[in-house]
Amino acid sequence: MVKEFMEKVIQKNPGEIEFHQAVREVVESLESYLKNNPEYMEKKILQRIVEPERVIIFRVPWIDDQGEICVNRGFRIEMSSAIGPYKGGLRFHPTVNLGILKFLAFEQVFKNSLTGLPMGGGKGGSDFDPKGKSDNEVMRFCQSFMTELSRHIGPDTDVPAGDIGVGGREIGYMFGQYKRLRNEFTGVLTGKGLGWGGSLIRPEATGYGAVFLACEMLKTRNESIKGKVCTVSGSGNVAQYTIKKLLQLGAKPVTLSDSNGFIHDPAGIDEKKLQFVLELKNIKRGRIKEYADKFNCEYYEGKRPWGIKCDMAFPSATQNEINKQDAETLVKNGCICITEGANMPSTPEAIEVFISGKILYGPGKAANAGGVATSGLEMSQNSLRLSWTREEVEKRLHDIMINIHETCAKYGKEPDGFINYVNGANIGGFVKVADAMIDQGLV
């Protein structure tokens, strides 16, 4: 079944390799579940779920500081509205293309379902590279991007948020432009500033949520996170707040990376050093190498941190950043738990190494769902026109991550007791969306 199905997906979506990869993983997980539940096959749910409800591709012209006209490409993939408005981030990165955004939108559908909140799945972005651009350039780009995107989104239609290259600054510029165009102050984006509709804990949510899920996974083996040496990749939003929560819970993070290389700080990245990283990355927009210069530790140019001995790993940069060899090295060095802050950071061959090694492996759609879950909480607060306290939001986030763990265990537990979180997340995320599609007729 998987083979024939994938042949058609590949033929219909040529060249979209990341999308093929994401679909194959889900279809492989679902194979035996679908055999036991033939209604999903009869209703052609798989064939329908891999076809976006709508894809929008548009021109984004803007003017740089030298007065030159620049043109980028903008996208929004509206993948599924079965259980709520399209919801998912925007990525600004030069590698962005249709296949990458379709893989991200596809993953988002299952992830959002797992949160238990009423959110469909979408993703968007642009091949715009914010690196080295002035604030004014970023603002002009965001305004032009939103001028077109505003026609397609709305608080009950499609609610974008951040992803790689899109943080509080970009959300602010896009929100401002949407408001001018529509003359409406609504929750059309999440990740907003705290003074104008944003939710407490949204900036922290993805990293915090990943650590919460890791703790649940550890509990199944009677292990605690205290004292665990952790490797973390990336140094952006997800990596920063993964480290913050690891420190709160007494773990020892020792690495950070960016697209140029990684730093290894065997003494541990403490609260003070983390503050330096926040300032370096979010305000000065510098490179992670500066950490090594400042704190006198090792910097590895052009390398990823997976060769460093650790108890737990938190890939939090980008897709396919752990290959088979990296996975083998991690397992050989005694790593017992991989928690994916990033989307699809492990290749299929790497996942196979983790699963066959019976490692605690939390795939992105379960492990990083805390970000979008807290976006869902931001939407609720916007609808209610009030804001919850930090404690209230963090408690809800924590409960959601515990529930996600339970869902994964319910659908992913194997006869020997091993929890296959990949199968658990894929089946658990699928069922609610598929049932909604059946209820709603041929949509």
Name the site residues for ligand NDP (rule: CB under 6 A).
Answer: 162-165, 167, 206, 234-238, 258-260, 316-318, 341-343, 368, 371
User: How many residues contact ligand 2IT, by CB under 6 A?
Assistant: 12
Q: Which is closer to ligand 2IT, CB of 163 or CB of 216?
A: 163
> Which of ligand NDP, ligand 2IT, none binds 225 (CB below 5-8 Å, type-dependent)?
none
Residue 421 beta carbon to ligand 2IT: minimum distance, rounded to whole angstroms: 17
Q: Which is closer to ligand NDP, CB of 317 or CB of 419?
A: 317
- Report which of 256, 329, 337, 267 is spatially closest to residue 296, judged by C-alpha positions: 267
> DSSP secondary structure string, 217-260?
HHHTTT---TT-EEEE---SHHHHHHHHHHHHTT-EE-EEEETT
Any idea how long the chain is? 443
> Which of ligand NDP, ligand 2IT, none binds 317 (CB below 5-8 Å, type-dependent)?
ligand NDP
Tokens 């939710």 belong to residue = 199
- Report which of 291, 225, 285, 226 is spatially closest to residue 255, judged by C-alpha positions: 291
Amino acid (1-letter code) at residue 47: Q
Q: Which is closer to ligand NDP, CB of 18 or CB of 163?
A: 163
CB-based burial of residue 439 (10 Å sphere; 0-12 exposed, 13-18 middle, 19+ buried)? exposed
Catalytic residue among 123, 133, 192, 245: 123
Q: Which is closer to ligand 2IT, CB of 251 or CB of 425?
A: 425
> Which residues partner with 262 through β-bridges?
257, 300
Residue 92 beta carbon to ligand NDP: minimum distance, rounded to whole angstroms: 8
Residue 206 beta carbon to ligand 2IT: minimum distance, rounded to whole angstroms: 7
Write out the two tokens for 99: 């296949």
Residue 245 beta carbon to ligand NDP: minimum distance, rounded to whole angstroms: 14
- Subset of residues 330 to 359 that bind ligand 2IT, contact rule: CB under 6 A: 343
Parallel, antiparallel, or unpaired for β 261-264 and 298-301? Answer: antiparallel
**Under the phi-then-psi rule, with left for phi > 0, alpha for psi from -120 to 50, and beta for the rest, what region is 300?**
beta
Residue in the shown chain whose Cβ atom is closest to ligand NDP: 236
Q: Which is closer to ligand 2IT, CB of 92 or CB of 354?
A: 92
According to the binding rule CB under 6 A, does residue 88 interact with ligand 2IT? yes
- Report which of 151, 95, 102, 160 is spatially closest to residue 128, judged by C-alpha positions: 95
Tokens 């209703």 belong to residue = 43
Q: Which is closer to ligand NDP, CB of 122 or CB of 437?
A: 122
Residue 115 beta carbon to ligand 2IT: minimum distance, rounded to whole angstroms: 10
Cα–Cα distance between 44 and 88 in angstroms, integer?
25
According to the binding rule CB under 6 A, does residue 190 interact with ligand 2IT? yes
> Which of ligand NDP, ligand 2IT, none binds 84 (CB below 5-8 Å, type-dependent)?
none
Amino acid (1-letter code) at residue 170: E
Confirm whether 252 is a catalytic residue: no
Residue 307 beta carbon to ligand 2IT: minimum distance, rounded to whole angstroms: 27
Write out the two tokens for 392: 């209230």
According to the binding rule CB under 6 A, does residue 163 interact with ligand 2IT? yes
Stretch of 62-70, 75-83, 84-92, 179-187 contacting ligand 2IT, by CB under 6 A: 84-92
> DSSP secondary structure string, 64-95?
-TTS-EEEEEEEEEEEE-SSSSEEEEEEE-TT
Amino acid (1-letter code) at residue 190: T
Residue 259 beta carbon to ligand NDP: minimum distance, rounded to whole angstroms: 3
Write out the two tokens for 192: 């907003």
Q: Which is closer to ligand 2IT, CB of 202 or CB of 252?
A: 202
Parallel, antiparallel, or unpaired for β 158-161 and 255-258? Answer: unpaired
CA dist list (Å): 283 to 169, 263, 315: 10, 20, 23
- Subset of residues 356 to 375 that bind ligand 2IT, contact rule: CB under 6 A: 371-372, 375
Stretch of 68-76, 81-89, 175-183, 266-274 contacting ligand 2IT, by CB under 6 A: 81-89
Residues classed as catalytic: 123
Q: Which residues are at the interface with ligand 2IT (CB under 6 A)?
A: 87-89, 108, 111, 161, 163, 190, 343, 371-372, 375
